[in-house]
Structure 1
Amino acid sequence: MESIAQTAETDVARKAEYNANKLAKRLRHAVGEAINDFNMIEPGDRVMVCLSGGKDSYAMLDILLNLQKHAPISFELIAVNLDQKQPGFPAHVLPDYLAKIGVPFRIIEEDTYSIVKRVIPEGKTTCGLCSRLRRGILYRVADELGATKIALGHHRDDMLETLFLNMFYGGKLKAMPPKLVSDDGRHMVIRPLAYCREKDLEKYAVIREFPIIPCNLCGSQPNLQRQVVKEMLNQWDKKFPGRIETMFTALQNVVPSHLADPDLFDFKTLKPTGEANPDGDKAFDRESFQDPIPAESVVTFPNVLASKRESGCE
């Protein structure tokens, strides 16, 4: 007979396995739903999956590989990592991992680190120049590989952080889109993790034991504006559960007539029509708002890519 201690240990293991499967299913559903909602991946696509060595890009590749096996459409995946020659960068980690899981990959070696350190004064933010250099190289590689889509590992929290960064520091109501043509006009950029919460991706990375590679170039910049906004959102999430989910929903429910951009909505020629309009102004009504619904209470519905029972994703 099993001892009480052995039984308890077995129960803990079963619960951990159940939670891990539940988390994996939730993330697959979220990615599949985003792909479906924004038509991110189409039949015959060759998707260049950009890997940084961080938790988000590892998770993106892992989930896309799962969807590739079970999706009703056929598409290719090729993983790409840019080795920027940061001191101490473990160059063997990603090639070893990618070879082990059997995914086609390409490692590009470009010493952008030396350029950034030479150009940017000590103590100044390096992200801007680093991003521009990295972007140009990855666009070039996408052309060389014949990639039809470039997949980036930005998640829901990244998108909200960008919204507040643009509001606070840029004077724009602008976030990070799930899908958009690149600034050179030649590539389609997609963000399959658009519906995924960072806290879920953190847990998933631990469960899947991804060999995380820290970024030493920007990791020593604790006062970055993005970090300040991230901490603000984390505090809101702790104090007001569900607020983050409500804010992200707002990104998908934009009402141009209730903003103040004359280029977005034609205010100048606006005239009364004599017909009732539910989106019309309710100037004499007192605004009423409900408390946000905690994320755990939100039901995720199945979608074409991620939750067909015959696909094996259930």
Structure 2
Amino acid sequence: MTQHTSTEATAVADAEKKAQLNVNKLTKWLRHAVGDAINDFNMIEPGDKIMVCLSGGKDSYTMLDILLGLQKSAPIDFSIVAVNLDQKQPGFPEHVLPDYLKSAGVDYRIIEEDTYSIVKKLVPEGKTTCSLCSRLRRGILYRVADELGATKIALGHHREDILETLFLNMFYGGKLKAMPPKLVSDDGKHVVIRPLAYCREKDIVRYSEAKGFPIIPCNLCGSQPNLQRAVVGEMIEDWDKRFPGRIESMFRALQNVVPSHLADPKLYNFVGAKADGVARADGDKAFDRETFSEPNTINILASKPADAGGCGDH
């Protein structure tokens, strides 16, 4: 009996050790991906005050946690303040985020604005609320960033979010447009950054589960059926399962744009194009048959040097 118990205990200990090693490996990978994104786009600079928008979902929790880890090891000084917008949704557990942020020792602000009532009043039943909700939320967060003196606004969008936006604009908006890792806000007063731009959603899910973040579901938009974004998200998820490497290849394409091979005369001077006898790398190769690599051989971070420095935990 003792021998059997001892064997079981050893097996449990080995399983726990293996699980912890996997969490450590995942943490290192996410920090590496976030650090690379920060370095590639100069997201964080010395003296920055980063306003981390915390919704209570897996993405924003992961972003905050990774940034707090990088803050301790980064060669530059920057501060973090977590901001949650309490939109007064019925049943919203108001204590969850303050309790979590206090326990984590994070500077934070909870902003209370009843945008829920406004959205429910103005949007007809059965129509999607995302557009109005996001506009109201954006205006409030811009105002709060001013009040806090934040130099950067950090949002928790990851790689799949960026690709979903690309396809939504292609399918429904007639634009070749995605979601940038860094850009000046539409009011021209703020810099918006997306530190999780290189991170895979499935890794964020695993990390969130391992960390046991107290997830708060969104009852306003997350529960709406047949959203265009949800449909596109399912398409991307299906591709990822059936064609390993396709997602990495598509994201890499966003970083390898060839304007001369698209069709926007505002982006490239097609009108003024003339044969001048000078060879050019972006010239047409009309008679060549283009060859492509297998998608699963492409890794978005493969070309990143391991000692890139900056905010990455290398």
Q: Same fold by TM-score, threshold 0.5 exceeded? A: yes
In the other structure, the counterpart of 2:96 is 93
In the other structure, the counterpart of 1:121 is 124
Q: How does 1:181-260 map to 2 (within 5 A)?
A: 181-260=184-263
1:136 aligns with 2:139: yes
Please report the TM-score for the alignment, with normalisation by the length of structure 2: 0.95
Kept after mapping to 2: 8 A contact 1:67/1:305: no
Call closer, same or farther: CA 1:125–1:212 in 2, change over 3 Å: same
Q: How far does the alpha carbon of each residue in 1:170-194 deviate from its partner, in whole angstroms, 9 at most, with x for none?
A: 0000000000010111111000000
In the other structure, the counterpart of 2:30 is 27
How far apart, in 1, do the equivalents of 2:7 and 2:262 lie? 63
In the other structure, the counterpart of 2:264 is 261
Kept after mapping to 2: 8 A contact 1:46/1:148: yes
Structure 1, 181-190 or 7-16: larger mean CA deviation: 7-16
In the other structure, the counterpart of 1:39 is 42
Name the SS for the 2:157 alignment partner: coil
Call closer, same or farther: CA 1:39–1:174 in 2, change over 3 Å: same
Q: How does 1:12-91 map to 2 (within 5 A)?
A: 12-91=15-94
How far apart, in 1, do the equivalents of 2:66 and 2:223 lie? 30
Q: How far does the alpha carbon of each residue in 1:136-178 deviate from its partner, in whole angstroms, 9 at most, with x for none?
A: 0000000000000000000111000000000000000000000
Structure 1, 8-17 or 298-307: larger mean CA deviation: 298-307
Percent identity (aligned): 72
Alignment RMSD, CA only?
1.6
- The one-letter amino acid paired with 1:304 is G
How far the C-alpha of 1:222 sits from its partner, in A, is 1.9
How far the C-alpha of 1:122 sits from its partner, in A, is 0.4
User: Gaps spanning 5+ residues in structure 1: where?
Assistant: 308-312
1:304 to 289, 293, 309: 309
How far apart, in 2, do the equivalents of 1:297 and 1:246 lie? 8
How far the C-alpha of 1:306 sits from its partner, in A, is 4.8
Name the SS for the 1:293 alignment partner: helix
1:109 to 108, 112, 124: 112
Runs of 4+ in 1 over 4 A off after TM superposition: 294-298
In the other structure, the counterpart of 1:169 is 172
Kept after mapping to 1: 8 A contact 2:38/2:311: no
How far apart, in 2, do the equivalents of 1:110 and 1:185 lie? 23
Kept after mapping to 2: 8 A contact 1:51/1:79: yes
User: Gaps spanning 5+ residues in structure 2: where?
Assistant: none
